[in-house]
Structure 1
Amino acid sequence: MKKIIFLFVLAIVSLTVAQNGYAQNYKQPVPSIDAKGKITDAKGKHIGWITSEGIIKDATGVKVAHIDNSGNAVDAATGKNLGKASKNGTYLYHVKSGENDSLTVSVPMNGVCEVKDKNGKTVLLVHENYKQYGACAMHCLQMKNEHKDMKMK
């Protein structure tokens, strides 16, 4: 009788653990920008900041880039144009082949916008306060963290 009770309890515990395991990670983690402008990568590590004026800084506070009055992302070190941040939050950036690629931003839902690549994959969650510059900031910081040349054009 003790074996049957033990097996019954073991089966219930196994089923409970198995179902909880599936529920934990239903979405892949993505980088995000919170309401204060703090930028974190997909692992939750703080990688930089963005201000409401469009200044992009790395985690140590060093200015990486800024958005000028025309919506152009400008490299802080070289002064070169890195891309264009449109009014709706879409970010058009330049790649080495000379072609353009873009990131599009959804309308805010519960104060958060999804930034998607050309394939429709969500690559960033951004607070609506930083909708216009969020995709640009993430692109610049990823390039810096990967030690790639940010001058793409």
Structure 2
Amino acid sequence: MKKLIFLFALAVVTLTATQNSYAQNYKMPVPSIDAKGKITDAKGKHIGWVTSDGIIKDAAGVKIAHIDNAGNALDAATGKNLGKASKNGTYLYHVNSGETDSLTISVPMNGICEVKDKDGKTVLSVHENYKQYGACALHCLQMKNEHKNMKMK
């Protein structure tokens, strides 16, 4: 009788643990830009804004960069070129080593696009309204928040 009760308890525990493991979120959280242009980091903290005309602001509302008509990301303080935001949402940026790197964007699914790095890892979830500027905005805000300098042309 004790063995039967033990086996029954073991079965209940095993089934409960199995069900709970399926309920876990398998995706790592990534930064996102919602339909209003609010940018949040992977932890859900508000780090800035992007407007539909390409103005990038930090969380305090201070303009840090903007995208001109040619798709160039320009520093708000100096006017120097930080990178290039293409029409399809691909963002080519410059780093201190002198090399360039890029972020690419997927086709919208249910109004949301994924921005991926050169290795194919998703680094940002962006509403389709901001797909042209999303990767640029995230990169500028992350560099500003980490107090890193970007190479400017």
Q: TM-score, normalised by structure 1?
A: 0.91
Runs of 4+ that moved beyond 3 A: 1-7, 150-153
> Partner of 1:115 in structure 2?
115
Q: Deviations over 1:50-78 (max 9, x none)?
A: 00011111111111111111111011122
Cα distance, 1:131 vs structure 2: 0.5
RMSD, matched Cα:
1.8
Query: Structure 2: where are the runs of 5+ without partners?
Result: none
Specify the code of the residue in structure 2 equivalent to 1:70.
Answer: A
Aligned counterparts, 1:1-153, within 5 A: 4-5=4-5, 8-9=8-9, 11-153=11-153
What letter is aligned with 2:111?
Answer: G
Superposed CA offset, 1:65-110 (max 9, x none) = 1111111101112211000000000001011122211100111001
Structure 1 contact 75–150 (Cα < 8 Å) conserved: no
CA contact (8 A) 1:80 1:151 kept: no
TM-score normalised by the chain length of structure 2? 0.91
Deviates more, 1:111-120 or 1:93-102: 93-102
CA distance in 2, matches of 1:51, 1:80: 20
2:68 touches 2:74 (CA, 8 Å); kept in 1?
yes
Aligned length: 153
Q: Which sections of structure 1, spanning at least 5 residues, go unmatched?
A: none
